[in-house]
Amino acid sequence: MASLASSAFVFDIDNTLTPPRRALEREMADALRSLTVPFALAAGSDLALLRQQFFEPLHDFGFRGGFDAFVCNGASRYRCSYDDARFRLDAIDDFSLPQALGKDAYAGLLRVLRDALEHVSFRLPESVGIIGPQIVERGSMVNVAPSGRPQGTLSTVEHANRDAFVAFDQASGYRQRLLTHLRQEVDHTLPGNGIFITLGGQTSFDIGLRGRDKSFAVRQLIAEGVRHITYVGDALYPGGNDVAVLELWESLGDSRDRLKVVRVDGCQDTLRLLRASSAFGATR
């Protein structure tokens, strides 16, 4: 991605580069075009969602060049190349969670997830509907959305239902309770499994294999010679799906100066960070 002497940014997407489950806006696209150092993505979502939310809008707003995208909570790596005609995605490292766990363990994981969602303790109130699949298998990870995960751009009704779930979760601690339950059940059913479960965005859970999380993006770039990385994400807290990067930073010891970890509270916070950076130049 970059030369041995380079620095780079690595960004989460949802609520870091874009508003939650909404498309990239021109202001952020212009900021990314203005960076004088390379950047990569460590995204929780899969390619289908990212295409609508980030890849296509970035091209439409005039970005030309390239970057690497570590998708599905950072587990699989794609190279993104942009020219005047279109953008191109090439698989560099396409990870498979079912293959890594094995058929029986993976089936056991799905059973735990289904049983938890059907448990009386985790039924949703009447104010929140289930408007899409609750368990989405993404190949390199599994996403669990108790209120359902509609595909593509959300409609007004779907956004309203999403907002209702967020409000319910914030008032009741629903996801934290379910997170604790899922971790206990997975550890009991599949001991020594290496599975991680984190909060995903504002409404869901990301489930994958330790090491194939968002820290994978940072570790790969460091191994390839990037001297200093600034990681930017909104979920750098216990249970959040960016926290693996913070844990990586803590493990680096004397090499911690190679990685800077910055928590933001939304895409406007990210814009302020970028504009204050020495790596921010004139829009290209």
Indicate if the pLDDT at residue 214 is higher than 50: yes
The three-state secondary structure class of 206 is: strand
Query: Is residue 129, in this structure, part of any structural domain at all?
Result: yes
- Residue 67: how many CA atoms within 13 Å on its side-chain side? 25
CA distances from 160 to 11, 53, 86, 197, 212 (A): 27, 18, 33, 26, 33
Q: Is 146 within 8 Å of 178 (Cβ atoms)?
A: yes
Same domain for 147 and 88: no
Sequence-distant (6+) residues with CB within 8 A of 16 are 232, 233, 234, 264, 266, 267, 270
- Report H helices in 35-129: 47-50, 56-60, 97-101, 103-118
Q: What is the pLDDT of residues 41-57, one digit of tens each?
A: 999 888 988 999 999 99
Q: Is there a single domain that holds both residue 192 and residue 221?
A: no
In a domain, 281, yes or no: no
Any idea what the CATH number is for the domain that residue 115 is in? 3.30.1240.20
280: pLDDT confidence band, cut at 50, 70 and 90?
confident
Beta partners for residue 158, in sequence order: none
Asked whether residue 11 falls in the same domain as residue 91, the answer is: yes
Residue 1: the pLDDT is 60
Give the pLDDT band of residue 2 (cuts 50, 70, 90).
very low
- Looking at the fold, whether 135 and 108 belong to one and the same domain comes out as yes
Is the domain of 127 the same as that of 203? yes
State residue 3's pLDDT score. 47
Residue 239 identity: G
Instruction: Give Dmax over CA atoms of the chain in angstroms.
Output: 56
The distance from CA 109 to its chain's CA centroid, rounded to whole angstroms, is 21
Per-residue confidence (pLDDT) for residue 282, from 0 to 100: 56
**Which amino acid, residue 213?**
D
Q: Collect all residues with Cβ–Cβ distance below 8 Å to 95 and sequence separation of at least 6.
A: 72, 75, 76, 139, 140, 212
| Residue 262 counted as domain residue | yes
DSSP state of 236: -
Structure tokens at 131: 């408007």
For residue 260, the cross-strand partners are: 230
- Give me the mean pLDDT over the 237-249 stretch: 92
CA 248 to CA 21: how far, in whole Å? 27
222 is in which domain, residue-wise?
7-95+212-275
d(CA 69, CA 21): 18
For residue 139, tell me if it sits in a domain. yes
Is the confidence at residue 201, as pLDDT, over 90? no
Per-residue pLDDT tens digits for 4-38: 448 999 999 999 999 988 999 999 999 999 999 99
Amino acid 229: pLDDT: 96
Residue 188 lies in a domain: yes
Has residue 282 been placed in a domain?
no
pLDDT at residue 78, as a whole number? 97
User: Based on the structure, what is the number of domains in the chain?
Assistant: 2
pTM (predicted TM-score): 0.86
Q: Are residues 176 and 253 in the same domain?
A: no
The per-residue pLDDT of the chain, averaged, comes to 93
Q: What is the pLDDT of residue 244?
A: 94
Amino acid residing at 141: M
90 and 102 inside one domain: no
Query: Are both 75 and 126 inside the same structural domain?
Result: no
pLDDT of 107? 97
Q: What helix, strand, coil percent values describe the chain, rounded to 5?
A: 40, 25, 40
- Which domain-ending residue is among 180, 209, 238? 209
Residues 110, 177, single domain; the answer is yes
Give yes or no: residues 112 and 205 share one domain.
yes
Return the SS3 of 156.
Answer: helix
Do both 59 and 199 map to the same domain?
A: no
End of a domain among 177, 209, 241? Answer: 209
pLDDT digits 0-9 by tens, 47-84: 988 999 999 999 999 999 999 999 999 999 999 999 98
pLDDT digits (tens, 9 = 90+) for 111-170: 999 999 999 999 999 999 999 999 999 999 999 999 999 887 789 999 999 999 999 999
51 burial level (CB within 10 Å; 0-12, 13-18, 19+): middle
Q: Does 64 share its domain with 155?
A: no
**Once rounded to an integer, what is the mean pLDDT over residues 262-271?**
97
The pLDDT value recorded for residue 122 is 97
